[in-house]
């Protein structure tokens, strides 16, 4: 049997999920397992175990899935984004709506500035099809800078420089809402 399926020439150590892990989980040593893989399988941005311990997952992982920095909350979240992309935190007007989105989904961000039925104002589209990086509802933790109450209704999106300029501080000018949208590559017909 070994003659039919020879062992790979070389392998390298990699870290994988030891079990199914939810998005937002803070990694503990028991969540990771060392495995041997062919060098070409190892994803770029693969940190060692000591770097990953205590970090928070930005996405859910299946048992055996290899870890990379782009799967963790932090600078790696923008991996693969166009040059100049920024992670922009937004506070939604309806904190409960955050439960409808997960990291990876695309949303349109809309601002309303009216003060109710007596003073209506048109909604303004601030950003189209921006990917969600993190939400307070999907296992997000407060961390060292924010208290738990301060993360309520918070969402972080990846935005190009123009979008980031419109989004930064927008919640002080009006109420922010999001609309779930389909993939960027899909073409819609109406």
Say if 190 falls within a structural domain. Answer: no
User: What is the per-residue pLDDT across 142-189, written as a single tens digit (0 to 9) for each?
Assistant: 443 344 445 677 888 989 999 999 998 887 888 999 999 986 554 444
* Mean predicted lDDT score pLDDT of the chain: 78
Task: Say if residue 139's pLDDT is above 70.
Answer: no
Q: Which domain holds residue 152?
A: 81-181
Torsion of CA 55, 76, 22, 158, to 10 degrees: 130
Helix (H) or strand (E) holding 164: helix 161-167
Cα 102 to Cα 10, 90, 125, 136, distances in angstroms: 38, 14, 21, 10
Domain final residue, candidates 44, 59, 76? 76
Residues of the chain with pLDDT > 90, as a percent, come to: 18
Confidence category of residue 140, pLDDT binned at 50, 70, 90: very low
Tell me the per-residue pLDDT of 70-99, one tens digit each, with 9 for 90 and over. 787 766 677 777 788 888 889 998 988 988
CATH code: domain of residue 50: 3.90.1210.10
What pLDDT was estimated at residue 167? 92
Same domain, 86 and 177: yes
Residue 2 lies in a domain: no
DSSP secondary structure of 101-149: --TT-EEEEEEE---SGGG----EEEEEEEEEEEETTTT---TTT--GG
With a cut of 60, say whether residue 138 has pLDDT above it: no
Look at residues 178, 182, 167 and name the one whose alpha carbon lies nearest to residue 96: 178
The answer to whether the Cα torsion of 131, 133, 134, 138 is positive or negative is positive
Residues 6+ apart with CB under 8 A from 175: 93, 111, 112, 113
Is 0.85 topped by the overall pTM?
no
Whether residue 66 has pLDDT greater than 80: yes
Specify whether 88 is located in the same domain as 65: no
Do 68 and 100 belong to one domain?
Answer: no
- The whole-angstrom separation of Cα 76 and Cα 183 is 22
Q: Which residues are CB-neighbours of 152 under 8 A, at least 6 positions away?
A: 95, 136
SS percent in the chain: helix, strand, coil, step 5: 20, 30, 50
């Amino acid at each position: 049997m070994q003659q039919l399926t020879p062992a790979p020439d070389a392998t390298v150590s990699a870290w994988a999920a030891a079990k199914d892990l939810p998005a937002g989980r803070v990694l503990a040593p028991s969540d990771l397992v060392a495995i041997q893989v062919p060098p070409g399988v190892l994803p770029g941005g693969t940190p060692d175990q000591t770097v990953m311990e205590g970090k928070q997952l930005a996405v859910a992982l299946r048992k055996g899935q290899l870890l990379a920095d782009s799967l963790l909350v932090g600078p790696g979240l923008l991996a693969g984004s166009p040059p100049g992309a920024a992670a922009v935190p937004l506070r939604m007007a309806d904190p409960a709506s955050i439960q409808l989105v997960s990291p990876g989904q695309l949303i349109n961000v809309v601002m309303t500035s009216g003060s109710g039925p007596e003073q209506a104002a048109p909604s303004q589209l601030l950003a189209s099809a921006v990917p969600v990086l993190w939400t307070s509802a999907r296992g997000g933790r407060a961390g060292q800078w924010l208290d738990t109450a301060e993360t309520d209704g918070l969402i972080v999106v990846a935005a190009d420089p123009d979008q980031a300029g419109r989004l930064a501080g927008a919640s002080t000018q009006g109420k922010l809402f999001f609309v779930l949208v389909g993939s960027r590559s899909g073409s819609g017909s109406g």
